[in-house]
């Protein structure tokens, strides 16, 4: 079973919408994609798993249940404390505990790489133990060069495999070019700002801006 981690250079980058677009792109390519968000912080607008399912209109069996759901939209370590809970890192970091699927497993992280899951562990430490290729979602706007290169440095220093970078937002060709030149990391594509978010729109956006084979091979 092939697995991919979707992470971001910051919170509210657009990881969830991109995850939905990737699900649809892989579905079109007959890859039977599955989605899993192990840690969900914040339930005011519902959980991201249901958001992705609603957008994609894919069947229930493609969406795996969260391991942890916390009420407040905060860093997982603090959200857990408020709910009187704690993430069991040893259990979560065991690759054997990742749900099985008969297609590509898309794993969406909570926020950015350096988000604390507990008072002792950052999310990036979990990714290190999993050793699953990471797709880094980055903004196109001002500040993205610094944030993206710092995120890549954090991944490189831990020898975490990087599948590539996805840019999200208004077109900014020079920011994308500059990051590509400095990092030498593959640019997987650019998802523009969308006025409508539904399965028809995302299939079109993915088809026009990404190559499904980059995520399959």
Predicted confidence (pLDDT) per residue in 133-184, tens digit: 999 999 999 999 999 999 999 999 999 999 999 999 999 999 999 999 999 9
Q: Could you report the per-residue pLDDT of 27-78, keeping only the tens digit for each?
A: 999 999 999 999 999 998 899 999 999 999 999 999 999 999 999 999 999 9
Q: Where are the domains of the chain?
A: 3-216
**Contact call for residues 116 and 122 (beta carbons, < 8 A):** yes
Question: Under CATH, which architecture does the 3-216 domain have?
Answer: 3-Layer(aba) Sandwich (3.40)
Walk across the sheet containing 34-36 and list its strands.
63-64, 34-36, 105-112, 3-8, 134-139, 162-168, 187-191
pLDDT at position 172 is: 96
Bridge partners of residue 39, in order along the sequence: 68
pLDDT at 1 over 80: no
Choosing from 3, 37, 54, 128, which is the catalytic residue? 37
User: pLDDT at position 132, please?
Assistant: 97
Please indicate whether residue 37 is annotated as part of the active site.
yes
Most distant CA pair in the chain: distance in Å? 46
């Amino acid at each position: 079973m092939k697995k991919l981690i979707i992470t971001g250079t910051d919170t509210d980058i657009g990881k969830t919408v991109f995850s939905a677009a990737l699900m649809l792109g892989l579905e079109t390519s007959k890859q039977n994609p599955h989605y899993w968000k192990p840690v969900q912080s914040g339930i005011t607008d519902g959980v991201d798993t249901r958001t992705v399912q609603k957008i994609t209109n894919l069947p229930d069996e493609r969406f795996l249940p969260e391991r942890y759901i916390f009420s407040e939209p905060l860093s997982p370590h603090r959200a857990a404390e408020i709910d009187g809970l704690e993430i069991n890192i040893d259990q979560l970091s065991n690759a054997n505990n990742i749900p099985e699927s008969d297609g590509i497993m898309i794993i969406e992280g909570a926020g950015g790489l350096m988000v604390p899951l507990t008072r002792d562990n950052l999310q990036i430490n979990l990714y290190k133990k999993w050793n699953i290729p990471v797709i880094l979602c980055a903004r196109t706007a001002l500040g993205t060069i610094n944030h993206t290169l710092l995120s890549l440095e954090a991944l490189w220093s831990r020898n975490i495999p990087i599948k590539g970078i996805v840019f999200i937002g208004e077109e900014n060709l020079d920011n994308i070019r500059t990051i590509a030149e400095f990092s030498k990391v593959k640019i997987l594509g650019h998802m523009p700002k969308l006025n409508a978010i539904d399965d028809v729109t995302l299939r079109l956006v993915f088809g026009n801006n990404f190559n499904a084979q980059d995520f399959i091979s």
